[in-house]
A and B are shown apart, each in its own frame.
Chain A
Amino acid sequence: MISLSSYLFISFTLFIAGIAVMIARKNIIAMMLGIELILNSAALNFAAYTRFINNNLEGHLMSLFIIVIAAAEAAVGLAIVIRFFQIKETIHIDDAAQLQS
């Protein structure tokens, strides 16, 4: 039951969920939730492959760095969202249509 394909299925589901969130939502923070899901699906893939194919733990390291990068991305992205909100008083993605405020 616990096999590579089941892990890949879960990862696929997470990826699709993330894409759906990013397409369907117009709220920037909600879109960032989708990005987190996508990054997690990638990290899960790495860990699953490394366990079921050669078990040399390089994939774990990749997952670890993906988690680190996701955290940095969330920090900067949310800072931009907050700054955007301070200027425009909205976090709707369609209002972010100008390069300069």
Chain B
Amino acid sequence: MTSYTLDVYMPVIILMALAVGLVVVAVFVAQVLRPFKPSALKEQAYECGEDPVGTAWSNFNVRFYVVSLVFIVFDVEGALMFPVAAIFRKFVAIGEGAVLVGSLLVFISVLVFGIIYCWSKGDLDWVRSFQLSEDQVNQLKGIEEKA
């Protein structure tokens, strides 16, 4: 286990500062160079030439949330498995690998249960297929026949 100083984080801070600097400089230079003639028509949201209707900040389908839910569970489990994975080789080398294989496999299998559950319940389908009841099918058939 090697020791280090906090200097190893210096490039991270410098690079973030460079990113901020680049944005500030680019926007500032652009402000000097570019024309500025705002008009109400320009500032409209683009809706293929039509006048925009309403706001875009409205409700969205809940499937976005379910996807991000599955994601966060996998994310957290990945974060927990990383340190265990990093020491795996060392434990194998001293002959204690079976313990780690066991705990990792249990961990992964619980994860697999989760994804199998979501799969079987259809949470992973982007387009959900709904099973229509018989009445609804008959109703639809009736509409078709009328037409």
Residues of A within 8 A of B (CB): 64, 67-68, 71-72, 74-75, 78-79, 82, 86
Contacts and interface: CB of A to CB of B under 8 A. Distances in A.
B57 interface: no
Nearest to B59: A85
A68 B76 contact: yes
Pairs A-B, 5 closest by C-beta atoms: A71-B76, A68-B76, A75-B69, A75-B72, A71-B72
Contact of B80 (A64, A78, A79, A82): A64
Contacts of B73: 72, 75
Interface in B60-98: 62, 65, 69, 72-73, 75-76, 79-80
B65 A79 contact: yes
Contact of B62 (A64, A75, A82): A82
Interface residues of B, number: 9
B76 A72 contact: yes
Contacts, number: 22
If over half of A's interface residues share one DSSP class (helix, strand or loop), that class is named, otherwise mixed; here it is helix
A35 to B, nearest CB: 16
22 contacts: A64-B79, A64-B80, A67-B76, A67-B79, A68-B76, A68-B79, A68-B80, A71-B72, A71-B75, A71-B76, A72-B73, A72-B76, A74-B72, A75-B69, A75-B72, A75-B73, A78-B65, A79-B65, A79-B69, A82-B62, A82-B65, A86-B62
Contacts of A75: 69, 72-73
A51 to B, nearest CB: 13
Contacts of B80: 64, 68
Nearest to A86: B62
Nearest to A78: B65
A87 to B, nearest CB: 13
Interface string B8-26: 0000000000000000000
A72 B62 CA distance: 18
Contacts of B62: 82, 86
A40 to B, nearest CB: 15
